[in-house]
Structure 1
């Protein structure tokens, strides 16, 4: 056990040494900040989101890049780092090191195997905590931003800041109505939320649900926007009518059935009435349930009505060829796909999950299903189909309403919040 502990400690030190080397190289090439300019801060971003990347990571990554380019010292810590991902590459090229917290990837297989008999002492989370603790001790950030895929999965990492006496904020990208902190961890999670300098959510729904689940108010909570991947003035011409008269809908979401509910949509399409109508749905995105969804398509016999297009970086190109967005999500924050579709001038047909109804107005900018069920999605799609000739007008209104509330640069706006809190913490 002592040998395993030593190997783990050595590994963590190597990680920090590499990080410090990256910082030194970056600083030696950068232009010194003028003494009359805004004071420089040290900011850490910690992402607890699993997987190589997800839409829930766009805000912290965009803000980290914005602050790095503004001359601040920024370091990111993330589980499961893909060194080739364009966001990771951009951050490192700008001078923001990205350290991997996932022991399954970062630790040697030999060391992981040696630690397996000691799961009680060295779980995956504990190793991630150890790596993060050493990184934060080296950086001594004025503020740490804990970005969570949900509303509790980052608390185990925020606890490191709490233990070290470092100022931190929480950013929650989603909340699930049936998932609460385990009983034995409830008080710890409550303490993490209470001692955060600020608790940020991407929808009012998620903020209120988190307060209910924790049984306490969060007076230091705020709602912020995620960045998007289409131009702000991105309203596109309506797609030309297809020769066969088919209307094309896009379901832009991670292929993850528990959250995104694509299975509900397939069951709707399998009904005889939809088989007879000229409607086609394209699934954009990747995820762990792709094989399962393809199997459902074959089982239900809806191959002619559905296609899979994978991940597409050029989101505007999707909306040049599709008439509307359809999202049968069971759980959400406030999806990027909705903002991007509306800014592009496309109506949406979506389940009332998360903050969907905070932007999508039923019968004005799209069609809101009462719940994430097959029956409710069928009812909303039926209403949309009956008024399909009015979709261009709904799309134009969607773009107008979105531009009235969505910030042009969400990362810069959030960066302003972060700097204000860092200034407050340093004072």
Structure 2
């Protein structure tokens, strides 16, 4: 697990810092960095407050934040109404009302807190702009933390000028991959001089390389697809189409899907439709990632869109090679034919080609996994939240004066 020690640089004179998450789900991988950083700063004695849509008061991260003295305010509709509707089903006038409610709640909270700095954590690169605009209009300093960028998803024309202004006004723009930073600049048509790449935290030991599991008595090779069950981003439907080909049906290969998400039912229906029940299983969400890599020989990620996936970092640190589509910052850490196998694109044909190469060289997977662990340890920080905390404090004049 990542360390939570507090260095002098993080425990400087007490400051007021707000974290605002635009994630509409109860939790997701995009929440881990801001939450870990907020927890670290709260424990160091700073006044920290979080604002998030759809707060699950039973979630272990929310509980930990509140126990550390960091209030978490819900920006969503009342729970009774939220249970009946979701954002994708709301009529436009209701979506507009929801946005206004979130802005009003945030505005009141920020006026009361009067923060020295605000962190806007976005699941994508534009979905938090209405919250960032509240900070801009109130005159508070803020930074943007973007967890993903989609090549065909541009700022809407009616809001393009505002989003450009929000990025220009931000004190710093953080991205989790160089790919996402450069794609955002292209989509905005403007340079972001105050921009840099940061890392997400991970949930395996930094030096947690595991021996490759022995081949099962039935000779089956086991791959794990560790990702939210969300087809538009994670592309599990592409992988199922690859596995449905006659050659893969005849090979001793099994894929376990780990994670939860809105498309679980659709994926289960696809498995049934393609008659892949013997080759595919669903393991649900497992907080203990180490358990996954004790039983699986490689990671497979058919993602259409990514930042830099947490699953990739965790698999590499655990000593596992990865078969993945070249999405987001994947190629910034995964070395093709060295630490894994990179598909040229998120297509059935490209994934099939990469998986074929991996299958041909499967006896080399233990050596590739060892190299993956070595390269990951040379690249990723031992404590990403502490690294971000230092950067945030460095952006506050009172913290460095």
TM-score (norm 2): 0.93
Match of 1:51 among 12, 21, 25: 25
Pair 307,97 (structure 1): closer, same or farther in 2 beyond 3 Å: same
Q: Where does residue 345 of structure 1 map in the other structure? A: 319
When the two chains are superposed, the root-mean-square deviation of aligned CA atoms in Å is 2.0
Query: Which residue of 2 is the match for residue 101 of structure 1?
Result: 75
Partner of 2:242: 268
Query: Partner of 1:74: helix, strand, or coil?
Result: strand
* 1:277 matched residue in structure 2: 251
Match of 1:330 in 2: 304
Does the 8 Å contact 2:15/2:116 carry over to 1? Answer: yes
Map 1:28-427 to 2 at 5 A.
38-105=12-79, 119=93, 123-423=97-397
- 1: CA distance, partners of 2:316 / 2:75: 36
Distance in 2, Cα, partners of 1:118 & 1:281: 40
After superposition, the Cα gap between the structure-2 partners of 1:118 and 1:411, relative to the gap in structure 1 and judged at 3 Å, is closer
What is the SS of the residue equivalent to 1:123?
helix
Cα distance in 2 between the residues matched to 1:119 and 1:296: 35
For the residues of structure 1 that align with 2:395 and 2:44, how far apart are their CA atoms? 16
Distance 1:425 1:187, change over 3 A: farther
CA distance in 2, matches of 1:400, 1:117: 51
Deviations 1:201-253 (A, max 9, x none): 00000000000000000000000000000000010111122101111100000
Contact persistence 1:81–1:100 (CA under 8 A)? yes
Q: 1:136 to 1:375 in 2, by over 3 A?
A: same
User: Shift in Å at residue 423 of structure 1?
Assistant: 3.1
Contact 2:394–2:400 under 8 Å retained in 1: no
Q: Is the 8 A contact 2:12 2:399 kept in 1?
A: no
Take 2:203 and 2:360, find their aligned partners in 1: how far apart are those partners?
31
Whose Rg is larger?
1
Q: Larger helix proportion, structure 1 or 2? A: 1
Q: Say if 2:393 and 2:399, in contact at 8 Å, map to a contact too.
A: no
Q: 1:381 to 1:425 in 2, by over 3 A?
A: same
Conserved 8 A contact 1:100-1:106? no
Deviations 1:84-125 (A, max 9, x none): 001001111111110000114387999xxxxx9993896111
| Unpaired segments ≥5 residues, structure 2 | 1-7, 85-89
Q: Write out per-residue CA displacement over residues 368-420 of structure 1, whole angstroms, 9 at most, x where no aligned residue.
A: 00000000000000000000000000000000000001000000000111111
Deviations 1:26-67 (A, max 9, x none): xxxxxxxx9xx7211100000001111000110000000010
The structure-2 alpha-carbon separation of the partners of 1:38 and 1:117, relative to structure 1 and needing over 3 Å to count, comes to closer
Residues of 1 paired with 2:304 and 2:280: CA distance? Answer: 20
Q: Report how far residue 187 of structure 1 moved.
A: 0.2
Structure 1, unaligned runs of 5 or more: 1-33, 111-115
Alignment check: 8 A CA contact 2:233 2:306 kept: yes
What is the deviation of 1:424? 5.9
Partner Cα separation in structure 2 for residue 306 and residue 99 of structure 1 = 40
Q: Distance in 1 between matches of 2:94 and 2:386?
A: 42
